[in-house]
Amino acid sequence: MREFFQHIRTLLSVTILLVFVTNSCNENSANINSIEEVSVDVDSSDPVDSPEKYQVMLDTSQGEKIHILSIGITHYNDPVITETLYADNDAKIFAGLWQGCVPQTNIHLLTDEKATKPYVKQLIADKLSLVSHGDFVYIFFAGHGDIVEKADREEVSGLLLYDAKPHQVETYYLIQELMEDLKKHIKAKSLLLILDSCHSGAAGLLRSADKKAGTKTIDAKEIEKQISRVGYNWGILTACRPDEKSRASHEYRQGFFTYWLKLGLVGWADRGSEDAPGKNDGEVTFKELFDFIYERVREDTRGNQTPVRSSLFHTETVMCKTGDTLPDLIKAGSASALLEIKVKPADAKVTCGGKDITSGLRQGDFKIIMLKLKPGKYDLRVTSNGYIEQKGKVSLIGGERSVVIAQLKTEIFPPIPIDP
C-alpha cells in the first residue's frame, strides 16, 4: 500500500513550468556570478521622459482629421490575470504623441479600470461614429491578448480588457466582435489597429481552455481578412509574431516596440537607418515607419522580437511630418536585465542559476524578489515544505525587465512516514 501512495504522489508532483522559454534566444547559460540581488524599488514604473518631449508634427488641417483611441492595461481586475509591464505608460505615451497637433476632443485615453469592455464598445459606438469618411483613426492597445481553443476545437482570439475573466471567452473583446463594431460605427476611410498584445509582464499568462496548448497570441496575418474593407485603407500592426513575446525595457521604462514606434513617428523613420533608409523628405510614410520599427526592435531585442504588419494598409500613407530637429536617438545600452520574481507562499525558497536567493520584500501573501542579471538563460526553482515544487527556465536580453510569478500548489497527500 505504501508503494501505491508513493506512486500516486509521484504522478501528482509532476513539475509545472512557471516561466517562458524564448526558443529564438541564443544566449549561453549564465552562472552564479551573473546574479546580483537588488532593491525591489530599483525600477520606477514612470516613463523616463515626459510626453511633451515627443510630439508628432502635422499641418493643422490634417491634425483635425486624426482620431486616437489609446488603451493600456497594466493591472487587471481579476487577480488571476497577471499584470503587464508598462502597458498603461505605453498607452499614455502614444496618446501624448498627438496632443500638440490633434484636438483634445479627438484623443481618447483609457488605462486600467477605465478600459472595461462595455466602456470601450460604447466609446466606439458614440465617439468614433462621429468621424468623417476622409478622417484617420488610430487604435492602440497594450495589454494581454489570447487565442483560446473551444470545445469544438475552433480557435478564437481576443483582447483582454480590464474586466476580462481567464478562460471565459465571452468576457474577451473578441477580434471578430471588435471588427464588427469598427465596421458598423466607423466611417473613416483610413484606420490602423496597433496591437501590443503579447506582453512579457508575467510568464504563463493564460492557457487554452483545455489546458493542453501553451499561450498563443494574436497573429496579424490571420486577421487580415477580418479587417479588410473594400475601398478602405484599413490595416493592422502588431508588436511581435504570435510565437514571440513583446519585451519591455527597464531603461526605456516602456515596451521596446512602443519606444521605437514613438521615435519613428516624431521623425526618425524619415531619416531611417543604414539597413532601412528613409526618404528624408520631411514626411513619414507607413512603409518608412514600419521598416524603422522592424529594424530597430529586431536589433534592440537581439532578434527575439519581430513586429508584423498586414499588407492591407497602404504603404505610402503619410503618417506625419518631420521637423528640422529631432529628439535624441538613445538605444538601450545596459548589459544587464532586471528579473522580478513573485512567489507564494512568502517563505518559499528560491534558487536562480544555482544561487539561493535570500533577499525579498513581503507584500501580502507574496514575497517580491528583484534580481539584476547578465543576459542569458537561467534555471529557476521554487520550493516550500508541503507544496509541489515548481521549476523552469527564463531567458533574458540586455536592458530587459521581466516578471515571473510562482504560486505553489499544496501537496494533496502528506508525507508518508517511513517505517524504522
In terms of Cβ atoms closer than 10 Å to its own Cβ (0-12, 13-18, 19+), residue 219 is middle
On whether residue 88 sits in a domain, the answer given is yes
As a whole number of Å, the CA-based R_g of the chain is 23
- Number of domains into which the chain is organized: 2
The CATH number covering residue 403 comes to 2.60.40.10
Among the listed residues 145, 19, 97, 36, the one whose alpha carbon sits nearest the alpha carbon of residue 407:
19
Looking at the chain, the whole-number percentage of residues with pLDDT higher than 90 is 43
Say how far apart CA 275 and CA 288 lie, in whole Å: 12
Full residue range of the structural domain in which residue 34 is found: 2-43+335-407
pTM of the model: 0.79
pLDDT at 28 over 70: no
Q: Which of 278-287, 293-302, 337-346 has the lowest mean pLDDT?
A: 278-287
Q: Are residues 151 and 257 in the same domain?
A: yes
Note the pLDDT tens digit of each residue in 378-391.
Answer: 999 999 999 999 98
Q: Using omega within 30 degrees of 0 as the cis cutoff, is the peptide bond preceding 345 cis?
A: yes
Domain boundary among 297, 321, 345: 321
The CATH number covering residue 289 comes to 3.40.50.1460
Note the pLDDT tens digit of each residue in 337-375.
Answer: 899 998 999 999 999 998 999 888 898 888 999 999 888
Three-state secondary structure of 316-340: CCEEEECCCCCCCCCCCCCCCEEEE
Q: Are residues 176 and 130 in the same domain?
A: yes
Note the pLDDT tens digit of each residue in 100-143.
Answer: 899 999 999 999 999 999 999 999 999 999 999 999 999 999 99
Q: Are residues 8 and 99 in the same domain?
A: no
Domain boundary among 321, 346, 381: 321
